[in-house]
Structure 1
C-alpha cells in the first residue's frame, strides 16, 4: 500500500506522505467498520424482532453503541500493524481507549441484564412480595456493580499515564499513613456502602414496601447505596440514609405480604343496638370492590362513661387500597348512622338527683316551660 501511494503522490515529502497515508487508511478502516456494524446489527434486529422476548431487544439496543466504537478500535488495531505511523499514534491512546471501551461494554451488559430480570419480576401484580424482593436486590446489585466497574476502569486508565504510575509507587512506600488518612476520610462512605450491601442481603425493606419512619407514612420508592427515597402519601419525598433502616426502629407494614388488615373506630352511645350497625357494616364491605374478601369483623373494644368504642376490621390487597377502603367504610357508616340511627350518636347526659339521693326522671313539659320562661328565653 505504501508503494502504491508513493506512485500516485511522488511530489509529497516522506513525512507528509506517511501522515496522509495513515489518515487515509484510518478513515477507510473506520468507514468499513461502521458499515460492517450497521449491516450486522440490522440483521440481528430483524432476527430479534421475530422473537417474543423483550429481553433480546433490550440487550441488543444497549450493545449497539459500545460495540460500534469497539469495532472501530479493532479496525484501527488491524490496520496499525501495516502502517507504522498509525501504530505509533494508537499505542499512545490505547491505554485510555481500551479500558474505557471494555468498561463501557461491561457496564452495558450489567444494565441490560438487570433490566431484563426486572421485566420478569413485575411488581404490579397483587401478590408481589417475591417480585419486590427481586427488584430490590437487582437495584442494589446494579448500583454496586456500576461503582466497581467505573472504579476499575478509571484506575486502569490512570495507570497508563507514567506520571500517575510513579505517584502510585511513591504512595505505596508510605501506605501506612495513607491508609489511616483514607480510612478516616472515607468512613461515612464505606459505612453507607456496607449498609447498602446489608439491605440487599437481609432485606428489612423492599421497593414498594409501606413503612412508617420518622413519624411519616409512605412507600419505598428507590433504594440506592447510600440513601433510600420514601414517597410520602402527599407526594413528598423523604431522603433517608441507608444505615437508618439498620440502626433505628421503623414500621414495615408489608414485610411478609402486601395484604393488610385495617381498622376503623366508631364511638356510639352506650344504649345503641349494635346488630343493625354490624349488618350494615357487612353489607358495605361486601359491596366495596376494594375488599379482598378475607376478613370482615366488628368488635366492641372499649366502654367509657359516655360511649362505646366499636372496632371494625377489614382487609385489602395492599396499603393504598386498604386506606381507600377504610375511608369508604368510615364515611358510609357515619352517614347511615346519622340518617337511620340518630339515637346512636354520642351525647352528654345530665342526671338530676333529689333530696333523697335518688335520680329524678326527665323533666316534664311544664317544668321545661317554666325553666325557659325563667331564663328569659
Structure 2
C-alpha cells in the first residue's frame, strides 16, 4: 500500500510540474512570438500535443524511479508498458502537429485569392499531398513501434521478416490498384499536370478541382455536382486543363446565317458589344467566316475572358445579342431555304439579273484585326508562331 501511495503522489507531482512548465513555455512563446508567424502557429496548433507529451513523459519517469525498489511487482510492469505506449502515441502526435505547423507556415506565403495564382496553387497542391503522406507514414510507424513493444509481436516479426519477399509480392499484387492510385497522386502533385482549383473538362463535364488526395480526385462540376475519379484516371486518360498555364482562355460562338449577311457590319457590332461588357478581357475579338456550304454561311465569333466562368457568360451574351441583332436589323440574313420555280429557258423577266458594278476589295493590309485569329495583333502574331502548320489543321 505504501508503494502505491508513493507512486501516485510522485505521478501527480510530476504531472503538475510538467503542466506548469508547459504553461510557462506557452506563455513565453506567445509573448515573444507575436510578430512571428511560425511561433504563432506553434502556440495555436502544437501547444496541446506538447502539453500532453510532456505530461506523459514526466509521469512515466516518476513512476519508473518511484517504484525502483519493487521491480518485480506485476502492476508496475503493466503500468510502465501502458505509459510507454502513451508516450509513443503522444510523441507521434507532437511530430505530426509540428509538421502541420511548418506546412501551414509555408502555405501562408502563397496566396490563392489573387488573379495570377498558378504558382501558389501548385505549391498548395504539393504541400497538401505531402502532409497527407507524412501523416499516414507517421501513423503507420507509430503503430509499428507500439506493437514492437510486445515481446510476442517481436517474436512473430522475426519470422515474418524471413519471408518478407513473398509477403511483399503478395501484398503488391493484392494492393496493385491502391498503390497505383497512390503513385498517381504523387505524380500529379509534382508533375504540375493538375492542381487545386484548376478548371478541367473530364468525362464530358466542365468543373474545378476541389480536392486532390493520394487515391481520388473530386471535381466540382459547374452545377454543384461532384465527380469523383481515381487519381490514376488523370495519368492514364486525356483530359482538358483550361488553367494549366494561365486562367485566361478563348471561346467561340457560331452562327449559321444566310449568304446575304453583312459580315463587316456584324463584326463591328460584335466589337461594340464586347467593349461594353466587363466580361471581356480586351485580348481577342474576332469574327470570321469558317464555312460556306449547304446554303448557309457559318460565322464564328472568337472572344477571350480572364477566366473560364467569365468566358461562359461572355459566350452566352454574344450568342443572345447577335441573334437578336440579326433578327431585328438584318432579317434577310436569317437562315432560309431557296426554291426557284421558273422557265427552263430563262425567259422570265426576274431571271434576268443585271450585273452589278464591281466593288473594291479590301487588301490584306486593310483587313481589320477582328477578322484575324493568327495575325493582325500582338496576341494573334504570338498565336500564329505557336501554331505553325497547314491551314486545314487550324480550328
Range class of TM-score, shorter chain: 0.7 to 0.9
User: Does residue 34 of structure 2 align to residue 45 of structure 1?
Assistant: no
Q: For residue 261 of structure 1, report the CA deviation from its aligned partner.
A: 1.1
Distance 1:160 1:170 in 2: 16
Distance 2:295 2:31 in 1: 76
Find the residue that maps to 2:280 and give its secondary structure: coil
Distance 2:11 2:98 in 1: 29
Aligned mate of 1:120, from 109, 113, 117: 109
Q: For residue 19 of structure 1, report the CA deviation from its aligned partner.
A: 0.7
Larger radius of gyration: 1
Aligned mate of 1:250, from 234, 239, 243: 239
Q: For residue 180 of structure 1, report the CA deviation from its aligned partner.
A: 2.7
Aligned mate of 1:66, from 19, 26, 49: 49
Find the residue that maps to 1:294 and give its secondary structure: strand
Aligned mate of 1:271, from 231, 252, 260: 260
Aligned length: 345
Find the residue that maps to 2:247 and give its secondary structure: coil
Residue 7 of structure 2 aligns with which residue? 22
Aligned mate of 2:190, from 201, 205, 208: 201
User: Does residue 20 of structure 2 align to residue 31 of structure 1?
Assistant: no
1:353/1:360 contact within 8 Å kept: no
Residues 1-377 of structure 1: matches in 2 within 5 Å? Answer: 16-48=1-33, 50-51=34-35, 54-80=37-63, 82-84=65-67, 88=76, 91-356=80-345, 361=350
TM-score of the aligned structures, taking structure 1 as reference length? 0.84
TM-score of the aligned structures, taking structure 2 as reference length? 0.81
Q: For residue 174 of structure 1, report the CA deviation from its aligned partner.
A: 3.0
Say what the alpha-carbon RMSD is for the aligned residues. Answer: 2.3
Give 5+ residue unaligned stretches, structure 2.
352-395
Find the residue that maps to 1:351 and give its secondary structure: coil
2:10/2:63 contact within 8 Å kept: no
Distance 1:248 1:209 in 2: 17
Which segment drifts farther, 24-33 or 294-303? 24-33
2:64/2:80 contact within 8 Å kept: no
Q: Deviations over 1:201-220 (max 9, x none)?
A: 22221112221222222111
Q: For residue 229 of structure 1, report the CA deviation from its aligned partner.
A: 0.9
Q: For residue 82 of structure 1, report the CA deviation from its aligned partner.
A: 4.0
Give 5+ residue unaligned stretches, structure 1.
1-15, 363-377
